[in-house]
Structure 1
Amino acid sequence: MTTTGSPVRLDSVKKTYGRGESGVVALAGVSVEFPAGSFTAVMGPSGSGKSTLLHCAAGLDRPDTGSVTLVGTDLKGRTETQLTELRREHVAFVFQSFNLMPALNVEENITLPMLLAGKEPDRAWIAQVVERVGLSQRVRHRPGELSGGQQQRVAIARALAGRSAVTFADEPTGALDTSTALEVLGLLRELADAGQTIVMVTHDPVAASFADEVLFLVDGQIVTKMASPAVEMVAAELARLGARAKQARGRQ
């Protein structure tokens, strides 16, 4: 399967939760491509559709209309088993909740996705990754013996170790202290520079400044894009969109 071009593409994707008057439009016809080797931050007010965009792009949620292409595969009509296999082969996730197996140690958590995919872990590469995330002294520890920041670094190492085509990150630094957050963001930047496609939802202008481009969502639509984002520019745009949203609510 080829992963050249844009490994992630959404075409006119719409997603509504609920029905009738109580229905909430999460995505209102979003079309966007995430090229190979790019790092994109997705931002916007709460309820703007950021996580829904991520979940639809990863095949975790099915759009009502429109199409999603993930590493060359149209997700429409795929069974849950087929989607799981596709993700296992080509996709890594970094979520705020870490999603580590409590009975497994650090090294076992890092290699688990590869073993499930039937791949032989590259032990030399994994040792490098573990060292880069500062966990060399912790490989035999279980998640319950680690701090939140250390658990997040295990999740990042897991994403790095598999050399996946795409990494989806949902608020990956939300629970971390500043120095650990900057480490994690630096590693995500390295992943992109090494050819992975990174799509990250964040509220943090500092986190967004590590990306190549920021997409701003409001009411399920991409309203603006910002290339080479600087912290101050991102913060100013968020403030502008927040004020606009407040005005719109006031008119309702």
Structure 2
Amino acid sequence: MSATTSVESPVRLDSVHKTYGSGDSAVEALAGVSADFRAGTFTAVMGPSGSGKSTLLHCAAGLDKPTSGRVTLVGTDLKGKNETELTLLRRAHVAFVFQSFNLMPALNVEQNVTLPSLLAGQEPDRAWVDQVIARVGLSQRVKHRPGELSGGQQQRVAIARALAGRTAVVFADEPTGALDTTTAVEVLNLMRELVRAGQTIVMVTHDPVVASFADEVLFLVDGRIVTQLTAPGAEAVAATLAQLGARAKQTRGQR
């Protein structure tokens, strides 16, 4: 598995709509989202609760099928791909950090971190794996199983697993949510290093400080990208988020 890819934009969404349910109970989670995540970029996705952030992530990763529109992942159009084809594509090119850690309870920290590489038929880079485990503060816990770790430590294992394979793309949903400030900053700096090496990271977060580590922040409201900031500071992100939250509340109140 390699972070570098010849594809200029490893993740592309073109007019993606996603509707859950039908008739009167239909909910439009994404309302025609187009976004282009170029190789070697770090993008944060933000927005008020219920704005479609996680749905965008799931559609971009091929975990959820759009109702209409096109998703291209590492140069492959996902339309018409079956579950096996999608799994093989993700295994070779994509890593995930989700809020549910999805660790294998029978495996220790080191085994969980190297599992994606082994499943993809690759020999893990042991020196890099050790470095990543150290950077997330788990060097003393490599032989522990998930059940012997706190929630924050399990989150660190999930992050190390996603970053150790140096895949072309990492999708992260609130990756630092369970971490203390020091570890969170270490993880975000590690992510920035990987982006500089050619990796593409798409991260959902509600935290303006976390978002300020990204190259660009996309803001979603009611399933639409309404604005974006480039190389923003935490204050600018917080101000934009507050403004959009107030506007969304006002709009919903008028319906």
Could you say which residue in structure 2 is the equivalent of 1:71?
74
Query: Per-residue deviation at 1:152?
Result: 1.6
Amino acid at match of 2:68: T
Could you say which residue in structure 2 is the equivalent of 1:95?
98
Q: Give 1:111's match in structure 2, choosing from 107, 114, 120.
A: 114
Change (3 A) 1:41 1:91: same
Could you say which residue in structure 2 is the equivalent of 1:126?
129
Unmatched runs of 5 consecutive residues or more in structure 1? none
Could you say which residue in structure 2 is the equivalent of 1:45?
48
CA distance in 2, matches of 1:250, 1:220: 17
CA distance in 1, matches of 2:226, 2:170: 24
Aligned partner of residue 181 in structure 1, secondary structure: helix
- Single out whichever of 66-75 and 135-144 deviates more from structure 2: 135-144
Amino acid at match of 1:224: T
| Identity fraction in percent | 79
Q: CA-to-partner distance for each residue in 1:31-85, whole Å, 9 max, x for gaps? A: 1000001000000011111000000000000001110000010000001000000
- 1:107 and 1:139 in contact (8 A); partners too: yes
CA distance in 1, matches of 2:193, 2:152: 19
Q: How many residues end up aligned between the 2 structures?
A: 252
Query: Per-residue deviation at 1:180?
Result: 2.2
Query: Per-residue deviation at 1:112?
Result: 0.7
Amino acid at match of 1:154: V
Query: Per-residue deviation at 1:24?
Result: 0.3
- 1:149 and 1:180 in contact (8 A); partners too: no
Q: What is the 5 A alignment of 1:179-190?
A: 179-190=182-193
Q: Give 1:7's match in structure 2, choosing from 10, 18, 33.
A: 10
TM-score normalised according to structure 1 size: 0.97
Kindly indicate whether residue 38 of structure 2 is the aligned counterpart of residue 35 of structure 1.
yes
Q: CA-to-partner distance for each residue in 1:196-250, whole Å, 9 max, x for gaps? A: 1000001100110000000000010000010011111011001101111121122
CA distance in 2, matches of 1:122, 1:177: 28
Query: Per-residue deviation at 1:143?
Result: 1.1
Runs of 4 or more, structure 1, over 3 Å off, are none
Q: CA-to-partner distance for each residue in 1:163-190, whole Å, 9 max, x for gaps? A: 1000000011122222222222222222
Could you say which residue in structure 1 is the equivalent of 2:162?
159
Kindly indicate whether residue 210 of structure 2 is the aligned counterpart of residue 207 of structure 1.
yes
CA RMSD of aligned residues (A): 1.3
Q: Give 1:229's match in structure 2, choosing from 211, 227, 232.
A: 232
Aligned partner of residue 66 in structure 1, secondary structure: strand
Change (3 A) 1:132 1:177: closer
Kindly indicate whether residue 136 of structure 2 is the aligned counterpart of residue 138 of structure 1.
no
Could you say which residue in structure 2 is the equivalent of 1:82?
85
- 1:51 and 1:201 in contact (8 A); partners too: yes
CA distance in 2, matches of 1:203, 1:77: 33
Query: Per-residue deviation at 1:142?
Result: 0.7
CA distance in 2, matches of 1:134, 1:242: 35
CA distance in 1, matches of 2:170, 2:247: 32
Aligned partner of residue 240 in structure 1, secondary structure: helix
Query: Per-residue deviation at 1:2?
Result: 5.2
